[in-house]
Chains A and B, each alone.
Chain A
Amino acid sequence: MALVLIDGKEIVVNPEETLLQAALRQNIYIPYYCYHPSLSIVGQCRMCLVKVEGAPKLLTACTTYVPELPKEKKIDGKYDMKIFTKSEEVKEAQRGVLEFLLLNHPLDCPICDQAGECQLQIYSYEYGNSRSEFRFEKLHAPKRVDLGEHIVYDAERCIKCTRCIRFCNEVTKSGELTLIKRGVHTYVDTFEGKSLNNPYSICTADICPVGALTYKEFRFKERVWFLQATNSVCPECSRNCSIRVDTYKGEIMRIVPRFNPSVNGYFMCDYGRLVSERIKNKEVREIPSLREKGILEPRMEKGFYKILLSKITRKYEPKDVAVILSGRMTNEELESFKVFSLIVFGEILGDVLYITGEKDDILVKDEKRANYCGAKFFDLKFTKANENIKNIIKGKKLVISIREDIFKGIKEEQVKEILSSVEIFVVMDAFFTETAKMSNFYIPLASWFEMEGTTFNYDAHLQKISKCVSPPKGRKPFYDVVSLMLNLLTEMEIKDFETAKEKEIESVKKVLDTFKERDVMKGGFVPWFKEVKNAIPQLKNISLKDLAPLGFSAKGKKDGDN
């Protein structure tokens, strides 16, 4: 461990880290382009040049390690190195590098998607020259090059930092990219016969410090300074990558990975990122609907729920009821389902549909829903994959499907056969799916990006999801639907419904009210858990200690919340 004096401030440099890493870790900023914490160090951009006392020339902070000096050789009796990052010589070098980078840069900021978050703009403003002495014609290089399905490359904007190349070599290990030609004509291209189609290709656009790599799904969509950022979590697998959702006027414009060292690091997969594109094309219905005379017709909310409740509350033996739950439900939704089930059916029912798929060694997990860990924690029963749907539904009279399109890809005749014994089929989903179209009662729910909640990843890591866009009034999170139904239940007179249960409803309602006020988010997991525990008799005997095997810490830490 070395002690370094950097611009008069003391910092500690560990043997395995470079000067730049140590400085950034200790909140001293040195500008850089080619360095990226998750990629190898190449020292190519020369932006991080600093003055090291005693060194004949400036050194790149990103490649400089600091060996510990013997006691008698320490500078001023205690330092292993003295660094200046703001001396005239360093400033001159920074100006020089920026002048060079801009020589052949098209300066097309007005039409560049990177504008507003471009390191070339930012550094030019902070460290650059106010005018250029380059009077010559700029060189032209390939523009609008399709490197792959998503990525478009502009060699004129490129500063050849090779982050994208190293990403493909070191993270995805697919090695599609290389620099070709040399000198000032150098640019990035794919190797012959290859294209940039690895499952993480869009990350290259994230790590590109300039506008050289952009992706088609966001290209020319919106100026970045108009975007509103909300932190959330990717719903597409049990990794739960931390994301930032950028919206404009209530529409999701793009999703970018958000650094979270204990979940996803710096990256996310293209599939997860493009979930926003996929949900755009899905059919939605914003009003609860009831099937009458064969047609699923929209209904006023209150009347709809009254009819529904009068038909299902304590009307069926638990053995005649099947409820299909989803790993897309947040902890709060799962919890409120248990309350709902307890009150309406007298016991906790439910099968969580366990959907798996391909995984990789980088981020993608085989569990294809976000919150299976939450479902495990709430002690819900799991059922593997779609083919068992038949077995779950067989012989049941009431079937409720929440947030899963269980009949997707199954022919209508077959569905009818599966549902032959079913008297009431309730579907609750954010989208008006194939399954929803077969239902007697359809309840629209808020989608993943339209509600608040928490989710556990495969490693029992708790994160918060946020309301990135507001849902239309009719679409609610499941817990709000439950809250609404329980309120109605207290008003309704239902035969055989024991008055003793009313007291239970009262206590549960309190819990659900705290959901509503989002208190869950304020105190983290522990206070929320305590409240739920008090409200639900089945949870009374569980202590936080019992949860330890699942990986919870008693602190109830939430990551990626900053």
Chain B
Amino acid sequence: MEYILIILGAVLVNNFVLTRFLGICPFLGVSKKLPTALGMCGAVVFVMTSASAVTWVVQNLVLEKLGIGYLQTIAFILVIASFVQLVDIAMKKFSPKLHAALGIFLPLITTNCAVLGVSVLNIQLEYGFLKAVIFGFAASLGFSLALIIFTGLREKIDRANPPKAFQGVAIALVTAGLLSLAFMGFASLVK
């Protein structure tokens, strides 16, 4: 039950993009076409889930033991970046097809605030290892949900011929705001 609440909370109530406002850059950047957005979603799910696991280990087994937990930001950036790079190299070697689908998105999100955010939140909320991984996975699902909905909206808006002053980024930001408002409706669903 607790795990279900964590998942619901991260996907709907405290959606990373629409409620916590993390990961806005890819949210606006790769939301023009659905195939690109789906590729990004795959990469985000992978990176956020694995980053949660790796950073939990680094924090609890290395930094805490040495009493330097306050250095988590630097250490996390270091670890996440090299971990993603490592996975990128391994993927290219062992699964070229997966690399072709996700490869170009991986470097884009290594130092993304959503990835760092989920790692830091895991520590702040004092989650255990399993909970941290589930939270990371759910947070990335939430990100994917927001990105896919938003891409669908933008593809429609592109063809709807908005007034000249609204075209492009302006209408995209307005839409993102309204989508965020809609997600505020989930507030208090899960504490």
A and B held together in a complex:
no
Interface residue ranges, A against B (CB under 8 Å): none
Interface residue ranges, B against A (CB under 8 Å): none
